[in-house]
């Protein structure tokens, strides 16, 4: 596989809203390329427009300007090849873990037995065997995000968008989940676009980091991270990069 | 590790819950005892003409021996309940369907919403003259009036629940390419179920109230009829006895609905906070 092949391309993407009769720019002229099977991290301060960017890639909202290409073809609206792990209200509380994870195949009309098998594979992969019949409200925050990740994978997407999946977790669980996501990504190579506002998390996970500015979002810098995995967070090179990116980051307003 | 942690958390929670439940079990009993004491006090003064607990108890024993219009107390309660159940079955079926239609389809809501809102303002009992004119005073007109009273809350709550599904849940459907039917059945309706159940709860209590009022206007059976009978013959213990039955049955109906909700929406019962 050619790892330099461009999987997804954003061209001059802008987004604005009318807020109180005024035009509010949320993203201005964002262009970037996402390579096949890479782990790309979008790093940006809080409320800078990260979710909006992902929503546009996912087809949940339309940009006012610009184009998005997947495998060289322009896409409009949501695409089957793109999956998403949401930042908020990720799971359907009326469905059990199993029912949540098998949702994608079920929507596609995969017969019950077959989709259960697929779902079970990913439930096992995220380490939730034994919780198939639990409802989301019975699970801890970390477990919920595991379900959300399993659900996205079970639909077999080519690109996986993850919107601050661990933002609401405590530090301990967060570290564990970061390791987990890296393990899953290595086991099931997909193109991942991972959003975070945490520099350390970005450095731990990313092949490349796209640094975004404050709102309205635009690309400030792109960093290639060539450290060996799993990464050592106190390695001098890690710390140097961390400082370099940190110095270049806008403070959240 | 994680699983152990989860179990400890739950059991701790359960222990607290148990303690809390004990208090919540005692308080209602206390309230009932207090109410009966008040009742004794209020009726101890003959000038108040308030039927005493003893006289109501005696009236209860008497109705067991001597039915009114061929029906015992249970017979009359059942007569009222039957009307409510038939009316509720139709109100739920039609009300939920109609509520989903105007909650989901903006055009249908624009077309039918205003008419429905105007109809809502008319209290069910205002239909009595017209319904009596059309259908006389048999069984059907009573059921019809209860149906009208029970329909409104189901439609209103279902419509609101379906129209206000959180965008985040709809986004899940969009990401997985659900079609409109799947959006409705997999996401909108389940997420609106607690609103729909609020409607079902309200319609049950509304139906139970309206049936008694409808029976007071004419008829030969039902708890509402017993109250009118007591009033006409100066038999106030009978009135009070009927009122107590109304309260108890209303309470039991609420419990049945709650039980139903737990079975149909098991996830709401399992919320841990
Ligand atoms: N539909 C909308 N209409 C108007 N303003 C919006 C809309 N959606 C988002 N915004 C605004 O755009 C800005 C960026 O929002 P966005 O949710 O993308 O930020 P974010 O980077 O994901 O933030 P966070 O780190 O909190 O998740 C915010 O100021 C937000 O209030
Ligand atoms: Mg966000």
**pLDDT tens digit string along B73-87?**
999 999 999 999 999
Residue list, CB under 5 A from ion ligand 2:
A 51, 87
Q: Which of B175, B182, B271 comes nearest A84 by C-beta?
A: B175
Based on the domain organization, do B127 and B31 belong to the same domain?
A: no
**pLDDT tens digit string along B196-243?**
999 999 999 999 999 998 888 778 899 999 999 999 999 999 999 999
Based on the domain organization, do B90 and B189 belong to the same domain?
A: yes
Tokens 């319904």: give the residue.
B131
- Residue B209, domain CATH: 1.10.3720.10
Taking CA atoms only, the protein residue closest to ligand 1 atom 20 is A47
Q: What is the pLDDT of residue B153?
A: 93
- Listed residues B47, B63, B85: the one ending a domain: B47
Cβ atoms B225, B215 nearer than 8 A? yes
Q: What is the mean pLDDT of residues B99-119?
A: 91
Instruction: Using an 8 Å CB-CB cutoff, list chain B residues near A89.
Output: 166, 168-169
- Listed residues B16, B31, B47: the one ending a domain: B47
Based on the domain organization, do B98 and B201 belong to the same domain?
A: yes
Model pTM score: 0.85
A207 lines ligand 1 (CB under 6 A): no
Q: What is the pLDDT of residue B190?
A: 96
A51 lines ligand 1 (CB under 6 A): yes
For B84, the enclosing helix (H) or strand (E) is: helix B73-104
* Distance (Å) from CA B9 to ligand 2 centroid: 30
A19 lines ligand 1 (CB under 6 A): yes
Helix (H, G, I), strand (E, B) or coil at A33: strand
Structure tokens at B192: 């609106």
The pLDDT confidence band at residue B10, using thresholds 50, 70 and 90, is low
Based on the domain organization, do B114 and B173 belong to the same domain?
A: yes
**pLDDT tens digit string along A7-32?**
999 999 999 999 999 999 999 999 99
Based on the domain organization, do B8 and B137 belong to the same domain?
A: no
Taking CA atoms only, the protein residue closest to ligand 1 atom 22 is A51
Residue A8 distance to chain B (closest CA, Å): 17
Gap between the Cα atoms of B77 and A82, Å rounded: 60
Based on the domain organization, do B42 and B172 belong to the same domain?
A: no
> Closest Cα to residue B154, out of B257, B11, B51?
B257
First and final CA of chain B: distance in angstroms? 22
Based on the domain organization, do B64 and B96 belong to the same domain?
A: yes
Residue B273 pLDDT exceeds 70? no
Q: How many A/B residue pairs have CB atoms within 8 Å?
A: 66
* Bridge partner residues of A163 (DSSP): A195
Q: Which of residues 183-212 of B touch A (CB under 8 A)?
A: 186-187, 190-191, 193
Based on the domain organization, do B26 and B142 belong to the same domain?
A: no
Based on the domain organization, do B224 and B157 belong to the same domain?
A: yes
Q: Which of B3, B177, B191 comes nearest A94 by C-beta?
A: B191
Domain count of chain B? 2
* Distance (Å) from CA B26 to ligand 2 centroid: 47
A241 lines ligand 1 (CB under 6 A): no
Helix (H, G, I), strand (E, B) or coil at B220: coil
Which among B19-33, B53-67, B150-164 has the top mean pLDDT? B150-164
Based on the domain organization, do B157 and B186 belong to the same domain?
A: yes
Look at B177 and A80 and tell me if their CB atoms are within 8 Å: yes
Please state, rounded to an integer, the average pLDDT across all residues of chain B.
Answer: 89
Based on the domain organization, do B169 and B184 belong to the same domain?
A: yes
**pLDDT tens digit string along B173-189?**
999 999 999 999 999 99
Range of the domain at B4: 1-47
- Listed residues B47, B62, B78: the one ending a domain: B47
Based on the domain organization, do B31 and B152 belong to the same domain?
A: no
Residue B47 pLDDT exceeds 90? no
**pLDDT tens digit string along A62-110?**
999 999 999 999 998 889 999 999 988 789 999 999 999 999 999 999 9
Q: What is the pLDDT of residue A177?
A: 87
């Amino acid at each position: 596989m050619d790892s330099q092949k461009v999987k997804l391309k954003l061209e001059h993407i802008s987004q604005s809203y009318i807020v109180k009769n005024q035009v509010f720019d949320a993203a201005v002229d964002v262009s970037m390329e996402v390579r096949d099977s890479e782990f790309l991290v979008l790093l940006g301060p809080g409320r800078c427009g990260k979710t909006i960017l992902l929503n546009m890639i996912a087809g949940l909202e339309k940009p006012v300007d610009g184009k998005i290409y997947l495998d060289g073809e322009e896409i409009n609206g949501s695409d089957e090849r793109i999956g998403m792990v949401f930042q908020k209200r990720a799971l359907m509380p009326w469905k059990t873990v199993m029912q949540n994870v098998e949702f994608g195949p079920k929507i596609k009309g995969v017969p019950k037995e077959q989709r259960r098998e697929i779902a079970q594979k990913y439930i096992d992969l995220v380490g939730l065997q034994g919780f198939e019949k639990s409802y989301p409200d019975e699970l801890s925050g970390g477990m919920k995000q595991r379900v959300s990740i399993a659900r996205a994978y079970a639909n077999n997407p080519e690109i996986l968008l993850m919107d601050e999946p661990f933002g609401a977790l405590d530090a301990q669980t967060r570290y564990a989940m970061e390791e987990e996501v890296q393990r899953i990504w290595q086991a099931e190579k997909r193109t991942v676009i991972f959003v975070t506002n945490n520099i350390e998390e970005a450095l731990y996970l990313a092949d490349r980091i796209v640094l975004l500015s404050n709102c309205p979002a635009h690309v400030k810098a792109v960093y290639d991270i060539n450290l060996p995995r799993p990464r050592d967070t106190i390695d001098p090179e890690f710390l140097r990069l961390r400082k370099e990116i940190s110095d270049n980051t806008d403070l959240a307003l | 590790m994680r699983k152990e942690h989860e179990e400890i958390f739950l059991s701790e929670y359960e222990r607290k819950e148990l303690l809390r439940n004990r208090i919540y079990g005692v308080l209602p009993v206390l309230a009932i005892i207090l109410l009966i004491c008040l009742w004794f006090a209020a009726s101890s003064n003959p000038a108040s003409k308030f039927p005493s607990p003893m006289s109501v108890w005696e009236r209860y024993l008497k109705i067991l021996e001597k039915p009114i219009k061929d029906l015992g107390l249970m017979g009359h309660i059942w007569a009222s309940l039957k009307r409510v159940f038939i009316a509720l079955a139709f109100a739920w079926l039609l009300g939920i369907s109609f509520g989903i239609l105007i909650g989901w389809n903006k055009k249908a809501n624009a077309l039918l919403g205003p008419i429905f809102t105007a109809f809502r303002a008319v209290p069910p009992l205002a239909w009595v003259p017209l319904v009596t004119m059309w259908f006389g005073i048999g069984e059907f007109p009573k059921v019809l009036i209860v149906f009208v009273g029970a329909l409104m809350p189901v439609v209103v709550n279902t419509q609101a629940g379906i129209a206000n599904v959180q965008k985040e849940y709809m986004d899940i459907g969009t990401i997985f390419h659900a079609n409109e039917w799947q959006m409705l059945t997999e996401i909108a309706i389940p997420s609106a179920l607690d609103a729909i159940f609020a409607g079902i709860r309200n319609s049950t209590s509304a139906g139970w109230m309206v049936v008694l009022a409808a029976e007071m206007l004419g008829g030969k059976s039902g708890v509402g009829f017993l109250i009118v009978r007591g009033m006409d013959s100066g038999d106030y213990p009978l009135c009070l006895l009927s009122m107590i039955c109304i309260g108890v049955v209303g309470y039991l109906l609420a419990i049945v609905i709650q039980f139903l909700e737990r079975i149909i929406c098991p996830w709401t019962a399992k919320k841990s906070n």
